């Protein structure tokens, strides 16, 4: 298909030279935004929901942005119905991981129907680049990245996701260790 070439050069004329016309046009836009948003805020104040949000910013810790479920979030290891791990220590995720952050030590599974299972499964999450390759590579649907948990910041550098944590068996969050340390140092 033919692509047209358009010359877009704009030569400022008299209207631009006298300055005021265009500045008032600009002010009209900003003021319209201001009053429209104020009107929406007022409606919201009386409990009336508007179709568009009154303010584009989210009041972060109290209010969260809706996140699409496809977001590549924190990792999770899935379990079978009887509570055992789905992972068979096939090492595909460890192989494909471009950041070399998954470490698996395979072992003999206690279940006679399953040959292998990971004795240790650690993700060095500070190296992880959240590419999602591990979840894509897993042939057992054992590792998923669907835990939407935007906040895992820490003051320490040893956030290791252990097997127990990834399987959801422990409520202890590895990145909150600094909190405990902080509390202890304050004598709380």
Partner 1 sequence: MLPASAPMTLAMGPSHPAMHGIIRLNLQLDGERIVDSTIDIGFLHRGFEKMVERHTWNQAIIYTDRLNYVSAIINNTGYCLAVEKLLGIETPPRCQTLRVIMSELSRVMDHLTCLGAQVMETGAMTAFLYAMQAREWIYELVEMCCGARVTTNWTRIGGLSADVPPEFVDAVKERIPKLRRMNDEFSKLLTKNRIFIDRTKGVGVMSKEDAVSWGFTGPILRASGVPFDVRRDTPYLNYDEFDFEIPVGSNGDVYDRYNVRLFEMEQSLRITEQALEKLPDGPVNIADKTISLPDKLDVYGNIEGLINQFKLIMDDHGIKVPPGETYLPVEAANGELGFYIVSTGEDVPYKCRCRPPCLPITMAMPTMIKGEMIADIIPIFGSVNMIGGELDR
Q: For partner 1, which stretch binds (CB under 8 A), given 41-49, 69-77, 103-111, 118-126? A: 69-77
Q: Which is nearer to ligand SF4, 59 or 82 (CB)?
A: 82
Rounded to whole angstroms, the Cα distance separating 74 from 28 reads: 45
The residues pairing with 79 across neighbouring beta strands, listed in sequence order, are 85
Interaction site with ligand SF4 (CB under 6 A): 87-93, 96-99, 101-102, 104, 123, 128-134, 137-138, 140, 142-143
Half-sphere exposure of 132 (CA within 13 A, CB side): 8
Q: For partner 1, which stretch binds (CB under 8 A), given 64-72, 108-116, 154-162, 163-171? A: 64-72
- For position 92 contacting partner 1 by CB under 8 A, the verdict is yes
Within 8 A by CB and 6+ apart from 131, the residues are 72, 98, 99
Give the x/- contact pattern for partner 1 in 142-171, rule: CB under 8 A.
Answer: ---x--------------------------
In angstroms, what is the minimal distance from the CB of 26 to ligand SF4?
46
Cβ(136)–Cβ(86) under 8 Å?
Answer: no
- For position 137 contacting partner 1 by CB under 8 A, the verdict is yes
- For position 15 contacting partner 1 by CB under 8 A, the verdict is yes
Cβ burial, residue 185 (10 Å; 0-12/13-18/19+): exposed
143 touches, from ligand SF4, partner 1, none (C-beta below 5 to 8 Å by class): ligand SF4
Rounded to whole angstroms, the Cα distance separating 89 from 105 reads: 8
Cβ(91)–Cβ(138) under 8 Å?
Answer: no
Half-sphere exposure of 166 (CA within 13 A, CB side): 29
In angstroms, what is the minimal distance from the CB of 40 to partner 1?
15
> Rg of the Cα trace of the chain?
27
The binding site for partner 1 (CB under 8 A) comprises 1-10, 12, 15-17, 19, 22-23, 25-26, 29-30, 56, 67-68, 70-72, 90, 92, 95-96, 98, 129-133, 136-137, 139-141, 145
């Amino acid at each position: 298909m033919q692509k047209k070439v358009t010359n877009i050069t704009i030569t400022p004329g008299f209207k631009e030279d006298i300055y005021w016309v265009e500045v008032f046009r600009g002010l009209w836009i900003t003021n319209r935004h201001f009053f429209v948003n104020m009107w929406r805020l007022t409606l919201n104040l009386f409990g009336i929901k508007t179709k568009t949000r009154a303010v584009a910013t989210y009041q972060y810790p109290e209010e969260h942005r809706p996140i699409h479920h496809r977001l590549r979030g924190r990792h999770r290891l899935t379990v079978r119905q009887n509570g055992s791990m789905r992972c068979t220590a096939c090492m595909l995720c460890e192989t494909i991981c471009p950041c070399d952050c998954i470490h698996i030590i395979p072992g003999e599974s206690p279940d006679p129907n399953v040959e292998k299972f990971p004795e240790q499964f650690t993700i060095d999450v500070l190296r992880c680049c959240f590419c999602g390759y591990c979840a894509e590579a897993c042939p057992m649907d054992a590792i998923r990245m669907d835990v939407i948990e935007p906040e895992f910041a820490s003051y320490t550098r040893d956030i290791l996701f252990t097997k127990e944590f990834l399987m959801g068996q422990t409520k202890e969050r590895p990145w909150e260790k600094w909190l405990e340390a902080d509390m202890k140092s304050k004598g709380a």
